[in-house]
A = this chain, B = another copy of it.
Amino acid sequence: MELTPDWIVGFVDGEGCFHVSLQKHPEMTVGHQVLPEFTVVQHERDIQVLYALKKHFGAGVVRRNHGERFAFRIRNLEGLAQVCEFFMKHPLKTKKHTDFRKFRQILLMMQERRHLTREGLLEIIEVALTMNSTTRPRLEEIRESLKLG
């Protein structure tokens, strides 16, 4: 299946997700690892589309998500840099564009290794908390503990 840039933009405007989470990592000075990821979830019947996206970006994996739903997911920073380059060149048309810009901002901070300092991590959390318009109680909790520490 051949995908055109415009089709990918339209499909990701509908189905894509730019997400940043934190994972406990006691060996790191700040105690947490930053995990940015780009995902597209589809019903099993459209797994072909997910593989076409994987081929297009030359990165990521296709894995079962929940039940009959599968996810195409890119987590490695090199692959995510490709994703950023693509959506800078071919901008999203929905408000997901705002999430993408914040996502990219976090990736750029990580490239500058700012996620390895308490101040940088706090900054990343502040940005992540304004993404995806959902509440993130766990992220808020980590923020408060970082502020205290």
Tell me if B94 and A42 are in contact (CB < 8 A): yes
Which chain A residues numbered 83 to 100 have a C-beta less than 8 Å away from chain B? Answer: 93-95
Residue of B nearest to A11 (CB): B10
Chain A: interface residue count, which band? Answer: 20 to 34
Main secondary structure, interface of A, reads: helix
What is the 8 Å Cβ interface bit string for chain A, positions 1-38, against chain B (1 contact, 0 not)? 10111111111111100000000000000000000000
A144 interfacial contact with B, CB 8 Å: no
Residues of chain A having any CB pair with chain B under 8 Å: 1, 3-15, 42-43, 45-46, 49, 52, 93-95
Between A and B, 30 residue pairs with Cβ closer than 8 Å are: A1-B93, A3-B93, A4-B6, A5-B6, A6-B6, A6-B7, A6-B10, A7-B9, A7-B10, A7-B93, A9-B10, A10-B10, A10-B11, A10-B12, A10-B13, A10-B14, A11-B11, A11-B13, A11-B14, A13-B14, A13-B49, A14-B14, A15-B15, A42-B94, A43-B95, A45-B94, A46-B94, A49-B93, A49-B94, A52-B93
